[in-house]
Amino acid sequence: MKKLLLSVLLTTLAFASMEVDTTYSTLGAVAQKIGGDLVHVTVLGSPKYDPHFIVPKPSLLSKLRRADLLIINGGGLEIGFLPPLIINANNANIQPGAKGFLDMSHFIDLIDKPASVSRGFGDIHANGNPHYSTDPYTILVMAKVISKKLSLLDPKNAKNYRTNLSNFLQEWDAYLLHFDAKMAICKDKKVIEYHELFNYFLKRYGFTSYGDIEPLPGIAPSSKHTIELIHTIKDNGIKIILQDVYHEKRTAEFIASKTGAKVALIPHDVGAVKSADTLENFYNTIAEQICH
C-alpha cells in the first residue's frame, strides 16, 4: 500500500506539466508544437485504426482520468467510442462544457454538410465531413486555438504558448509556401476515394473526386457499386484511387487491375504510415502519393 501511495505521489510530481489528451495524432502533434516542454501529450486513438471505431480500452480511462485538457476532433467522429470513456474517467475537468474540453471542429468550416440526415444514407456525419486534418491549412487554425486554450488553462505560461505559436506559425507558413508550389505542378486531378477521408485536401488543391469505393458511408463495397465505379473510372480517365490504411485493400486492387488506375496509399493522420512520422512528412507523404 505504501509503495502504491508513493508511486501515485511520484507520478503526480513527475507530471507537474499540463496533461493534454487528444483523440487523434495530428491534433496531438500540433498540441506538442504549441505546448513544448510545458505539456505532456497523450494521443488516445492509434492512427493505424479507423478513427470512427477506436476501441474504448479501459487503459484509456486512466489517461483521461488525469487530463487537464482533452482536445477532440469533433464533427461526430468520436461519437462511437468517446462518450462512455469521458463518463467513466470520472474527471470533471474534461466533461463536455467544462473548461478543459475542446472541440476543434467548432473552429473549422465543415464542408459536405448533408441537406437531410437519416441513417438510411449510411453512417453519415450530420454536421458535415469531420476529416479536416488532411488540409494543411487547418493546422494554422488548430495551432491558434490550442495556444489560446492552453493560455487560458495555464495563464502563468501564457507568454511561452504565444511565443511557441508565433514561431510555429512562421515555420508553417514557410512550409505551406513550399508545399503549395509542390502541389501546383501536380497535373492529374481526378481521383476516387474509399471513404470521403481526403475531401478537405482535394478541395484545397483543386482535385475532383468522382466517387467512393464504399457505396454508402460505413457500408462495405458491393459488386454492383464496384462495377459502376469501374465504368466511371474508364469514362473519365481517372488514374488514381485513394486508399486509406485501415480499410480492406482488395476492392481497390481489383478496380485497379480492371482499369489501370493506380492505388495510392494515403495517410489520414500523422503516423498512419511509416513515412508520415511528423506533421510535415504527413502532408509530404500525401503529396508524393497523390502526385506521382
The contact pattern for other proteins, residues 33-72, with x = CB under 8 A and - = no contact, is -------------x-xxx--x-xxxxx-xx--xx------
Site for other proteins in 200-239 (CB under 8 A): 218-220
Q: How far is the CB of 73 from other proteins (least distance, A)?
A: 15
Q: How far is the CB of 168 from other proteins (least distance, A)?
A: 29
For every residue of 69-118, DSSP letters joined together read EEEE--TTTTTTTHHHHHHHTT-GGGSTTSTTEEEGGGGS------SS--
Nearest C-alpha neighbor of 241 from the set 219, 269, 224, 221: 221
Tell whether residue 169 is a contact of other proteins (CB under 8 A).
Answer: no
Site for other proteins in 117-146 (CB under 8 A): 119, 122-123
CB 209 within 8 A of CB 202: yes
Q: How far is the CB of 119 from other proteins (least distance, A)?
A: 6
Q: How far is the CB of 256 from other proteins (least distance, A)?
A: 21
Closer residue to other proteins in complex, CB, 61/111: 61
Closer residue to other proteins in complex, CB, 92/115: 92
Tell whether residue 81 is a contact of other proteins (CB under 8 A).
Answer: yes
Q: Is the dihedral of CA 171, 47, 27, 190 positive or negative?
A: positive
Closer residue to other proteins in complex, CB, 121/178: 121
Q: How far is the CB of 108 from other proteins (least distance, A)?
A: 22
Nearest C-alpha neighbor of 72 from the set 114, 38, 28: 28
The neighbour count for residue 214, using CB atoms within 10 Å, is 20
C-alpha to C-alpha distance for 200 and 204, rounded to whole angstroms: 6
Between the alpha carbon of residue 77 and those of residues 24, 68, 201, 207, the distances in Å are: 10, 22, 18, 24
Binding piece for other proteins, criterion CB under 8 A, among 29-37, 76-84, 180-188, 273-281: 76-84
CB 17 within 8 A of CB 40: yes
Closer residue to other proteins in complex, CB, 11/170: 11
For strand 190-193 and strand 101-103, is the pairing parallel, antiparallel, or unpaired? unpaired
- The distance in angstroms from the start CA to the end CA of the chain is 60
Tell whether residue 265 is a contact of other proteins (CB under 8 A).
Answer: no
Contact footprint for other proteins (CB under 8 A): 7-8, 11-12, 46, 48-50, 53, 55-59, 61-62, 65-66, 79-84, 87-92, 95-98, 119, 122-123, 218-220, 246-248
